[in-house]
Chains A and B, each alone.
Chain A
């Protein structure tokens, strides 16, 4: 009798967990499904190679936004990744220092800061001073979002390296920084790469910080000092515009954006699968 009840209770619990899992995955499937249904039809070669056409005409592509996103995110990585990774290594290797504690706290606060706030910040410090919008200001805003994320994941990865490895290197006469960079960081490099890729994937889809900084553009621009188009901005502009053709392009652009994020996350997964063998 009691056994029966337990078995029954166990089934109910498992069923509840399955329901929760389905509910968690459902939005993702719905989003992907909608995007494919509404966007896939508009994706052809011209979509990737052509520039927008004047409103009212059909056709045209988002080549300018693809180039813009690559440039803005690329420059953002150049600024954000070295700082984030460096700070992460420092915080993990000197965990007790006041600098590390302060930085960790600030990074946690920044991680929880809405990205639009970062956008306003970049507008105040860069756009308002230079008196014009620019792709570079967008890169700076994205870098500010990336730094705390990259720092914290790097720190966690470095902390996972067995302490015995660090001691082995020090006992062999390695100096402190050589131990950190030559042994510890090399050992957890796949993890750091993963963290960085996930951060890139996250900022590639950011819209709010770019509204105040890169602004968006209808033309092909390769100059980071000028306003620049980006995929999320195209989605924002086209989706809120009045023309059917714009809506069509917005769906297709959103699909491309999701595919980019998906590919980056997948790459991150593959990078972590090759974990180092911890010494026995």
Chain B
């Protein structure tokens, strides 16, 4: 595992670089001087107790926090070497390259087909005649195709929770992003659906840089290559998953992982 990280570091500095990043909602400081690099085409897990700022951090990468009034940030986040916080950056282009899957499946109240086709159609990523093939590819990638291929024109809201979540993954993949952000994607799923999504994550990392926020430490250990531990808005420790879970260097990391707090 460590070997692979070393290799990927030789290839590139990492798809996402975080430099002294701080973030606050009004007077509340959420993130404090966070700095680390997430390797490309690997899974980075972000763990930490509730309210430690992991979701805020994830949503800073595609600037979804912009919706909230009175936020302030300092420092920078670079995706593929380009700053996300430069003035005048094209947010649409940024979010096309950085897909996101949310904690609760949030399909549009449209058909299954439309849900997947909407991103590429709107952003003119594929020619209209190639659209069915793209939808099929993404649904296959998300391991949903066999379950829905006969009812693509039925409402997406009629799917089960686990299927909806995989549909949301397919929808994100349809934009052909480089980075996939996942905010506790399995927290509302049963164990079987969770297992399917986890298998999917492991498959997808061959082509995508994946950042996953999770409360489930077994999950972090199972799917990730590197892990960052956040507590009270600070990055306490960051390193290869194996090392974080077997020989953490900080006492707070060990306490959290062994279940003594959080």
Residues of A within 8 A of B (CB): 96, 162, 164-175, 178, 182-183, 187, 276-280
Give complex CA distance A169, B114 in Å: 13
Using CB atoms, name the residue of chain B closest to A172: B119
* In contact, A280 and B99 (Cβ under 8 angstroms): no
* Chain B residues whose C-beta falls within 8 Å of the C-beta of A183 in the assembled complex: 108
* Chain B residues whose C-beta falls within 8 Å of the C-beta of A280 in the assembled complex: 104-105, 157, 161, 164
* Chain A residues whose C-beta falls within 8 Å of the C-beta of B105 in the assembled complex: 279-280
19 contacts between A and B (CB under 8 A): A162-B106, A164-B104, A167-B100, A168-B102, A171-B64, A172-B95, A172-B172, A173-B93, A173-B123, A178-B122, A187-B108, A277-B109, A279-B104, A279-B106, A279-B107, A279-B157, A279-B164, A280-B161, A280-B164
Q: Point out which of A162, A178, A277 has the most chain B C-beta atoms below 10 A from its C-beta.
A: A277
Give complex CA distance A279, B159 in Å: 10
* In contact, B96 and A173 (Cβ under 8 angstroms): yes
Q: Give the Cβ gap from A47 to chain B, nearest Cβ, in Å.
A: 45
Q: Give the Cβ gap from B189 to chain A, nearest Cβ, in Å.
A: 12
* In contact, A170 and B108 (Cβ under 8 angstroms): no
The 10 closest A-B pairs by CB, nearest first: A171-B100, A164-B106, A173-B96, A277-B157, A173-B95, A168-B106, A276-B109, A172-B119, A173-B92, A279-B106
Using CB atoms, name the residue of chain A closest to B95: A173
Give complex CA distance A96, B168 in Å: 30
* In contact, A167 and B106 (Cβ under 8 angstroms): yes
Using CB atoms, name the residue of chain B closest to A182: B122
Q: Point out which of A165, A168, A173, A178 has the most chain B C-beta atoms below 10 A from its C-beta.
A: A173
* In contact, B67 and A167 (Cβ under 8 angstroms): yes
* Chain A residues whose C-beta falls within 8 Å of the C-beta of B108 in the assembled complex: 165, 168-169, 183, 187
The answer to whether the Cβ of B118 comes within 8 Å of any Cβ in the partner chain is yes
Using CB atoms, name the residue of chain B closest to A162: B106
How many residues of chain B have a CB within 8 Å of chain A?
31
* In contact, B69 and A96 (Cβ under 8 angstroms): yes
The answer to whether the Cβ of B248 comes within 8 Å of any Cβ in the partner chain is no
* Chain B residues whose C-beta falls within 8 Å of the C-beta of A187 in the assembled complex: 108-109
* Chain A residues whose C-beta falls within 8 Å of the C-beta of B95 in the assembled complex: 170-173
Q: Give the Cβ gap from A276 to chain B, nearest Cβ, in Å.
A: 5
Give B199-242 interface residues, CB cut-off 8 Å to A.
none
Q: A171-B172, A279-B157, A280-B157 are in contact. List 8 more A-B contacts (CB 8 A).
A: A164-B106, A170-B95, A171-B95, A173-B95, A173-B96, A277-B109, A278-B157, A280-B161
Give complex CA distance A99, B104 in Å: 33
Binary flags per residue of B81-104, CB closer than 8 Å to A gives 1, else 0: 000000000011101100110101
Using CB atoms, name the residue of chain B closest to A164: B106
Q: Give the Cβ gap from A233 to chain B, nearest Cβ, in Å.
A: 44
Give complex CA distance A175, B172 in Å: 16
Give complex CA distance A96, B107 in Å: 27
* Chain B residues whose C-beta falls within 8 Å of the C-beta of A167 in the assembled complex: 64, 67, 100, 102, 106
Give complex CA distance A245, B241 in Å: 92
* In contact, A164 and B102 (Cβ under 8 angstroms): yes
* Chain A residues whose C-beta falls within 8 Å of the C-beta of B100 in the assembled complex: 167, 171
Give complex CA distance A279, B123 in Å: 24
Give B143-168 interface residues, CB cut-off 8 Å to A.
155, 157-158, 161, 164, 168
* Chain B residues whose C-beta falls within 8 Å of the C-beta of A169 in the assembled complex: 108
* A165/B171 contact (C-beta < 8 A), A173-B92, A173-B95, A175-B92 known: no
Using CB atoms, name the residue of chain A closest to B66: A170
* Chain B residues whose C-beta falls within 8 Å of the C-beta of A164 in the assembled complex: 102, 104, 106
Give complex CA distance A171, B67 in Å: 11
Q: Give the Cβ gap from A78 to chain B, nearest Cβ, in Å.
A: 29
Using CB atoms, name the residue of chain B closest to A163: B67
Give B103-128 interface residues, CB cut-off 8 Å to A.
104-109, 118-119, 122-123
* Chain A residues whose C-beta falls within 8 Å of the C-beta of B118 in the assembled complex: 172
Q: Give the Cβ gap from A90 to chain B, nearest Cβ, in Å.
A: 16
* Chain B residues whose C-beta falls within 8 Å of the C-beta of A166 in the assembled complex: 67
The answer to whether the Cβ of B22 comes within 8 Å of any Cβ in the partner chain is no
Using CB atoms, name the residue of chain A closest to B62: A171
* Chain A residues whose C-beta falls within 8 Å of the C-beta of B93 in the assembled complex: 173
Q: Give the Cβ gap from A35 to chain B, nearest Cβ, in Å.
A: 41
Using CB atoms, name the residue of chain A closest to B155: A277
* In contact, A174 and B102 (Cβ under 8 angstroms): no
Q: Give the Cβ gap from A165 to chain B, nearest Cβ, in Å.
A: 6
* A173/B175 contact (C-beta < 8 A), A168-B106, A277-B109, A277-B157 known: yes
